[in-house]
Structure 1
Amino acid sequence: MPDHFAPGSASHPPAVDRSPEADGWRPLPAVLNGHATHHGTRPALSFVDHGRDPEGTWQTLTFAEVDLRARALAAALEAGFPRGGRVAVLCPQSVEYAVAVLACLYAGMIAVPLFPPEDPRRTERLAAVLADADPVCLLSVGPQQALCQSLGGGRVPVWAVEETEPRLARDWSGHRAGPAEPAYLQYTSGSTGRPNGAVITHGNLVASTRQVVDGCGLSDGTPIASWLPLFHDMGLNIGVLAPMLAGAHVALMSPLAFIQRPRRWLRLLGVHRAHFSGGPNFAYDLCVQRIPDAAGLDLSSVRVLTNGAEPVRVDTLRRFTEAFAAAGLAPDAVKPSYGLAEATVLVACNRVGQSWTELALDGDALAAGAISILPDRDRAARVTTVAGCGRPVGQDVRVADPETGVERPPGSVGELWVRGPNVAAGYWQQPGPTAALFDRVLTTADGGEHGWLRTGDLGFLHDGEVFVLGRIKDAIIVHGANHAASDIEDTVRRAVPEAVPTAVAAFAVPGGDGEGDRLVVVVELVAGPQSAEDIGLRRRVRAAVAERHGVRPYDVLAVRRGSLPRTTSGKLRRGDCRDRYLADGRSPDGSTDSKESK
């Protein structure tokens, strides 16, 4: 067991649940072992390698083979390290990555899903997470061992997953984890400061994975496909945990293979006859931009394509659905959803057969924190159209005042709070942030309710459905009115087609005394920052934002392509943009020629 963690702030590990209620408890390894016993010859895990062949080479393991490899590596870990030690997984996207994570669960180790040390730009982030997790071992593959050894300074053992002898499987202890035992640390992709590792217990893992299975209609007969990185919460659940729990066959490909040729993902959905897959906004936008027609694609098997962006853009949903209708894509297949690492992965989603909900809101009322649905979208008012993320799955969601923790009345915007068996136990070795976010008290008309997670997301509930407006920290307050950064960014994208898709950042900087925030907009242009004056960037952005949101940007900057900072999951780091802007007074990337003259 770990020697540094307890939920909340204690310094001792949580006790394993040995109560009678836990007698029927089946951790994920026990479920997977059962699949191997009862239908071991069925395919379980495939990886389509586009590195060797642009068309893709398949590697497939059966349930018996996955179980055998996981037990063998688990036995090796048990022989080398005390139970509860952290084990960092640094494999590239592959079947080895999945086996490594599963082996940690089998052995009672705490997996730390990370990415391989291939990109120098991520080395600092990777080193910070490793320093925080303090792993006893690094798991990788043979070709990457040297890089991992260098990263660990030669002090941490590095093991190649594929070199583990299968015969070791017979030495596995048969460890059966209790619900309260930590299963893995899911590090959030925050921008600065100390990394936050959400402690996902075995109870959280099973509860959340069952929520995904139930919410997305999965079974052992529903194939799954994914390109999402396995170190990300959504990628890990779709690509490993949910398929292994449901007994479904999952086919993986690498994120790079998708980025290089988005058609590969859609082709995989057809070849694999996939029922379930997903991605963020940019993935659907990229498909529309880079795939000129749907010829040769077959998406008729797809029932759930989850979109877990914050927030989901309605235009993205519409464009993708329309673009690939000719390939047999069902009009209700693309489904907005909501989740976060601190809730393991999923909070709410649209069920199979249900189309997403769109609401046209009065933008002025929304800026004041109220929900006013417009019956006529053509009326002369600023309109904000939002997509619903479906109903909560196996948990409760409320809207609270972020300052007081008092539940907000219906029709009000506030912070989304979540309570359920999927909510993580806290942050690894961080009692302060754990106390601030986890096990909070929600004040209701009936008194105080314990066990709530503060999500940091603004939103509201309508007819039982969750609507997400954006992060509280990204809210821009000008002249007393609240504006979501994502809404302003969407307006700029529409007004400036010369911008790089998904590469617009809006953020607030302090104004003068009594002035409140000042709005700054940064745009990556396809033709480069030198083209900003030629296309009248400043004038167009200011006019569009003023018309739709009633506020004029204080500053509009053009920057070179690829310069906006992002998280490992591809989301913009607006906080980093703001910090860099304030630090140099020019642009987020520090260039001196990217600012359009006023």
Structure 2
Amino acid sequence: MPDLSRTGPASTVTSGTRSTPLVPTGGWTPLPAVLNGHAARLRDRPALSFVSYGHDEGGLWQNLTFGQVDLRARALAAALEAGFPRGSRVAVLCPQGNEYSLGLLACLYAGMTAVPLFPPEDPRRQNQLAAVLADADPVCLLTVGPAAAACQELTDGRAPVWLVEETDPGWAAGWSRYRAGPEEPAYLQYTSGSTGRPAGAVITHANLVASTRQVIDGCGLGAETPIASWLPLFHDMGLSIGVLAPMLAGAHLALMSPLAFIQRPVRWLRLLDAHRAHFSGGPNFAYDLCVRKVPDPAGLDLDLSCVRVLTNGAEPVRVGTLRRFSEAFAACGLAGDAVKPSYGLAEATVLVACNRPGQRWTELALDSEALSAGLVRVVNDRVEEQPPKRVTTVVGCGRPVAQEVRVADPETGVEREPGQVGELWLRGPNIAAGYWRQPARSAELFDRTLKTTDGSRPGWLRTGDLGFLHGGEVFVLGRLKDVIILHGANHAPSDIEDTVRRAIGEAVPGGVAAFAVPGTDAEGDRLIVVVELAAGADTAEDVGLRRRVQTAVAEGHGVRPHNVVAVRRGTLPRTTSGKLRRGDCRRHYLATVSTTDTPPRGTEIGNEVT
């Protein structure tokens, strides 16, 4: 068996860790032990299937049974145990496919801390990937042959690269049968899209099992409920749907790549039909993409009557999207209650709340002015004496799943009364242990004390999300901070602003603001960039500002600004210390720019006039 920690002659397994029997202790069993039991009982049943579309438009299925998954995971785990100390970080940089699942499961079998990442395929994401690897400091990189050279360059050869597909199944006998404890780290889920210091949420084995059980219970999963997914496996929701939930439930997963979905969304729908999938999901934009790219569902030979849960999460859920998708694919037998708005975050491992099978989402019409003041005032259908000037419709994300959710004042930590908006706070067995090697940042969010009328209660997570509870359901209104979410991806505004500043030498130093504003339901949020020009706003056309900003941001971040606004020096609202007030920038923009997003002459964006 090779020693992965260095080059040279092969070595044998010499783990000094005492083997732990694979038996439940105290009613808790780690995922590898559960999967090992599935392999004993369901050895020849299909477990993982990856469907590729490169050479066959109908899809080529690569299948692994539960017995094969367990065997190969044990073999790779034995190799990891031979090369590295227990608990070491091991990065998984495989492309979407069965090898990714095997690499992650092998880390869990070996007691290593997995770091699920993406392969170095997109040049625009190299800096982000390098930053995460520098933070995690893995001892080994798991990937496949075509990506090996690029992975090696990421760490300048400091960490050895191991090809998952070259693992000899015969090594499985050398696995130590290690059984991780509940509080041991299982993996690091990185949450930041920034090129600054990333944040890796430490997910323990207890968190993993608790959260996955919540997904199974909340979505009605079991061994007889097939699952399908195209979500990237390095994403928290993709990892849950695409590896953890199927393996814990003993269900058969059919996986495809995100690129295959983006190229032809109908492939996902056909996979749901072919696999007779009970459960799948995606971000809001995915459902709009299906409606746009599949114009005549009734003309397809497509049967979606098998689907009971299509979770909609990972970005703001839009009522119009839910309606359009459900109505469009009702012609294919899709149940009207199949699409399920949900809420989760990496720090809670993944799931917080969801709509249960058979339950249709809840819509609330709210008084917009009251909502802006932090009050939840539901507009009645009957004619009111003083009807609101504006109404905002929000959609519920269902009830919490085996955890507590409260609404708190983000400044004081005092629980707010029913009918008030505040920060969502969570407590439960799924809450991560904190951020990897960031005690100060962890202390800001984890193990907080909620002040209630009954006293103080410790152990809460601050989510940074604004929302409220109504009728037992969770309603999410957005982030307290400025993270921009476009097409399911998080973008730090500071990163986009830095890109623009580098591209536009005519900009005032520090004079760039990036933020998102609502677009149509079909397109999602729009990215707006405001630039202070040293020579004045009238020079924007002369310097080609719009074109240059759009090109730089598209190349650097994979998104295209919907509008670029030029303003005079000193226009952007700032704090007394000079920091941008992006929320004020956004509010000024919405209040002064026309619905065509063409800033008219004389529009006030901040303190000055364009």
The interval holding the TM-score normalised by the smaller chain is: 0.7 to 0.9
Measured on the aligned residues, the alpha-carbon RMSD in Å equals 3.3
- Equivalent positions of 1:517-532 (< 5 A) are none
Residue in 1 that maps onto 2:422: 414
1:405-444 alignment to 2 at 5 Å? 405-444=413-452
Deviation at 1:563, TM superposition (A): 2.7
1:284 paired with 2:284, answer no
Which of 319, 324, 331 aligns to 1:326? It is 331
Structure 1: distance between partners of 2:168 and 2:306: 38
Distance 1:414 1:281, change over 3 A: same
Q: Which amino acid counterpart does residue 352 of structure 2 have in structure 1?
A: V
**Is 2:466 aligned against 1:463?**
no
The 3 A distance-change label for structure 1 pair 97 and 455 is: same
2:517 is aligned with 1:489? yes
Question: Would you say 1:45 and 2:72 are equivalent positions?
Answer: no
Given that 2:365 and 2:379 are in contact with CA atoms closer than 8 Å, whether structure 1 keeps it comes out as yes
Counterpart AA for 1:176: R
1:192 shift after superposition: 4.6
Instruction: Go from structure 1 to structure 2 and tell me whether the alpha carbon gap of 1:126 and 1:21 turns closer, same or farther (over 3 Å shift).
Output: same
Asked if 2 retains the 8 angstrom alpha-carbon contact of 1:310 and 1:468, the reply is no
CA distance in 2, matches of 1:562, 1:291: 29
Instruction: Give 2:524's aligned amino acid.
Output: T
Pair 1:121-2:143 in alignment: no
TM-aligned CA distance change 1:156 to 1:572, over 3 Å: farther
For the Cα contact (< 8 Å) 2:124–2:557, is it kept in 1?
no
Which residue of the partner structure matches residue 249 of structure 2? 246
Per the alignment, residue 367 of structure 1 pairs with: 372
Q: Match of 1:169, as an amino acid?
A: A
Deviation at 1:561, TM superposition (A): 11
**TM-superposition CA deviations, 1:428-487 (whole Å, max 9, x none):** 0000110010000000001110100000000000011000000001499xxxxxxxxxx9
Corresponding residue for residue 61 of structure 1: 64
2:172 is matched with which residue? 169
Output the TM-score relative to the length of structure 2.
Answer: 0.78
**What SS is found at the alignment partner of 1:347?**
strand
How far residue 380 of structure 1 moved from its aligned partner, in angstroms, is 5.2
User: Could you tell me which amino acid in structure 2 is paired with residue 100 of structure 1?
Assistant: G
- Is contact 1:113-1:186 (8 Å) kept? yes
Matches of 1:503 and 1:439, distance apart in 2: 33
> Equivalent residue of 1:324, what SS?
helix
Match of 2:357 in 1: 352
Matched residues, number: 510
Per-residue CA distance 1:307-348 (angstroms, 9 max, x = gap): 014431101100110111000000000000000000000000
Structure 2: runs of 5+ lacking an equivalent: 1-19, 485-514, 533-544, 573-578, 587-596, 602-610
Where in structure 2 are the equivalents of 1:84-163 lying within 5 Å? Answer: 84-163=87-166
CA offset at residue 509 of structure 1?
10
For normalisation by structure 1, the TM-score amounts to 0.80
Distance 1:185 1:404, change over 3 A: same
Alignment partners' CA distance in 1, 2:551 and 2:392: 30
Pick from 548, 552, 563 the counterpart of residue 554 of structure 2: 563
In 1: Cα distance, 2:402 partner to 2:118 partner: 30
Partner of 1:27: 30
Between the two proteins, what is the percent identity of the paired residues?
70
Unaligned runs of 5+ in 1: 1-16, 477-486, 511-527, 531-556, 589-593
Q: Secondary structure at the match of 2:460?
A: strand
Structure 2 vs 1, CA of residues 285 and 362 (structure 1 numbering), >3 Å: closer, same or farther?
same
- Aligned mates of 1:488, 1:155 — CA distance in 2: 39
What is aligned with 2:590? none
Any conservation in 1 of the 2:229–2:256 contact (CA below 8 Å)?
A: yes
1:174 offset after TM fit, Å?
0.2
1:33-83 deviation digits (Å, cap 9, x = unpaired) = 000001110000000011232321100100000000000000000001100
Cα distance between partner residues in 2 of 1:372 and 1:110 = 46
Does the Cα contact within 8 Å between 2:130 and 2:154 map onto a contact in 1? yes
Tell me by how many angstroms 1:191 deviates.
2.6
Alignment partners' CA distance in 1, 2:446 and 2:181 = 21
- 1:573 & 1:452 partners in 2: Cα distance? 38
CA distance in 1, matches of 2:126, 2:479: 27
Question: Which SS does the other structure have where 1:156 is aligned?
Answer: coil
- Specify the alignment match of 2:306 in structure 1: 301
Partner residue of 1:215 out of 204, 211, 218:
218
Q: Is the 8 A contact 1:566 1:572 kept in 2?
A: no
Report the Cα distance in structure 2 between the residues aligned to 1:149 and 1:226, rounded to whole angstroms: 29
Q: How does 1:516-595 map to 2 (within 5 A)?
A: 559=550, 563=554
Counterpart in the other structure of 1:394: 402
Question: Corresponding residue for 2:260?
Answer: 257
Partner residue, 2:527: 505
TM-aligned CA deviation for residue 298 of structure 1? 1.4
Structure-2 separation of matches of 1:293 and 1:361: 34
Contact 2:124–2:555, Cα closer than 8 Å, also in 1: no
Structure-2 residue corresponding to 1:224: 227
